[in-house]
């Protein structure tokens, strides 16, 4: 997906505030944050949504969660709380058709969301 904005960020064609990178994932700060800490964790492989995941993706999905845990601990929100969110489809608020995990923290998050 050459025109996908997240693929372009992964390829460094578009600047982003990158938090960390591994062989399979890239984590960067959201440009429209919904919380004081709002990091997006994406697989480097283009997957349109959670519906594209199969058994072969278990490792990258696990790595995405592990990256979120690492950032949460580093930012000191592992005790106070944080939220991890996958949106799937327009009614759920998925604005970019590239699988991404939102890490939101450093403010009180309401329930239910939205």
User: Does residue 71 sit within a domain?
Assistant: yes
- Per the DSSP assignment, residues forming a β-bridge with 83 are 104
Residue 15: pLDDT above 80? yes
Q: Where are the alpha helices (DSSP H) in 35-85?
A: 58-74
User: Does residue 110 sit within a domain?
Assistant: no
Residue 69: what are its φ and ψ, rounded to 5°? -60, -45
Residue 50: pLDDT above 80? yes
User: Does residue 113 sit within a domain?
Assistant: no
Residue 25: pLDDT above 90? yes
User: Which of 29, 46, 57, 100 is an active site residue?
Assistant: 100
In this prediction, residue 1 has a pLDDT band, given cuts at 50, 70 and 90, of low
Q: Assign 27 to helix, strand or coil.
A: strand
> What percent of the chain is modeled with pLDDT above 70?
97
Provide the domain count of the chain: 1
**Catalytic: 100?**
yes
Write down how long the chain is.
114
**pLDDT confidence of residue 113:** 83
Mean pLDDT of 17-28: 96
Task: Please give the residue range of the domain that contains residue 96.
Answer: 5-105
110 DSSP assignment: P
CATH label of the domain that carries residue 70: 3.30.428.10
């Amino acid at each position: 997906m050459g025109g996908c904005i997240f693929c372009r960020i992964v390829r460094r064609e578009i600047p982003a505030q990158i938090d960390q990178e591994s062989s399979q994932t890239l984590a960067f700060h959201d440009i429209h944050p919904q919380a004081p800490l709002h990091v997006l964790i994406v697989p480097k492989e283009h997957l349109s949504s959670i519906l594209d995941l199969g058994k072969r993706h278990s490792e990258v999905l696990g790595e995405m969660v592990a990256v979120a845990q690492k950032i949460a601990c580093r930012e000191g929100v592992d005790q106070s709380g944080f939220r991890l969110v996958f949106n799937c489809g327009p009614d759920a608020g998925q604005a970019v058709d590239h699988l991404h995990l939102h890490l939101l923290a450093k403010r009180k998050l309401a329930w239910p969301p939205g």
